[in-house]
Amino acid sequence: MARKRKGNPLHGWLVLDKPGTLTSTQAMAKCRWLCQGEKAGHGGTLDPIATGVLPIAFGEATKTVQYAMDGTKTYRFLLKFGEATDTDDRAGRVIASSDVRPTDEAIEAALERFHGWIEQIPPQYSAIKVEGERAYDLAREGETVALKSRQVRVDSFLLTGRPDRDHAWFEVECGKGTYMRSLARDLAMALGTVGHIGELRRLSVGRFTLDHALTLEQLEQAVAEGDPQRLLLPIETALDQLPELSLTGDEAQKLRQGQSVLLLKRTDLTRLDAVRASVGEDGDAMALASSGGRPVALVRVEGAEIKPVRILHV
């Protein structure tokens, strides 16, 4: 007999303004404890020193986490020139130094190399798995691992401030898997010096922004004042990149039972048009099926056949 989960059956997304004193997993666990949620996950890990947007999924929203992680992200960080650390941020020990300090003009010129699809080597202290072990665990044991470079997408990389010759502020808009610590490290090297991140803040993940975010203190107060469910954004907030497919009650019931739905009538064509416009290279398309304004399932559309991928029990 399956063990019943303890807690409230919450469903939706909470946007936390993560403090720089907790890991993402610790912050998620704290939110789950405060809200007494049955099940929780987070959409996109932040470095321990980083603050800002950490989307926390509760209940059925955990089935949509990958879509939150795939969303475009924006960051602000402070780069300190002249010292490299083993973690590529202020949490690590200094492993190299340089007296070179770049001019604003040199920085602007170097930034042009870091736009579009670029090759990037993740930091030694990262969650990348190497033969089944996390790179940061190997690094803590003193092992130096040759991590493979990967292609990442940088949409925008802007110099936004220069407090003094040792520091510079940047804002970045990028795709999934882009490490700010690697960007900072590689930019400093391209400028003939070394550097690391002194401060890092995530401003947005897809549709999740700081405008929606609560600090842990604000969350604790809000929970004490009422029902935690009212604090959550809808499950579909993470799915804005997917077309929506509206179904009848009978069609929705079939999906909930794990059955496919066929849309063969002439009047069904208009419902399929928006979905077909997003067809991928494999000829299929993903969509969010809904009925009566409520999400039903993540579905794959193959011609006129609607196949359930993840059923949302809300």
- In eight-state DSSP terms, residue 147 is P
* Conformational region of residue 196, where left means phi above 0, alpha means psi within -120 to 50, and beta covers everything else: beta
Which position among 47, 88, 89, 186 bears the catalytic label? Answer: 47
For residue 115 the two structure tokens come to: 């736009």
Alpha helix stretches (DSSP H) within the chain: 24-35, 65-69, 104-111, 135-140, 180-190, 216-225, 249-256, 269-276
Is residue 47 annotated as part of the catalytic site, yes or no?
A: yes
- Long-range contact pairs involving 147-151 (C-beta distance under 8 Å, separation at least 24): 147/121, 147/122, 148/121, 149/119, 149/120, 149/121, 150/119, 150/120, 150/121, 150/122, 150/177, 151/117, 151/118, 151/119, 151/120
Q: Are 120 and 178 in contact (CB under 8 A)?
A: yes
Distance in angstroms (rounded) separating the CA atoms of residues 283 and 286: 10
Distance in angstroms (rounded) separating the CA atoms of residues 202 and 112: 22
Report the interhelical angle of 24-35 vs 216-225 (nearest 10°). Answer: 10
Catalytic machinery residues: 47
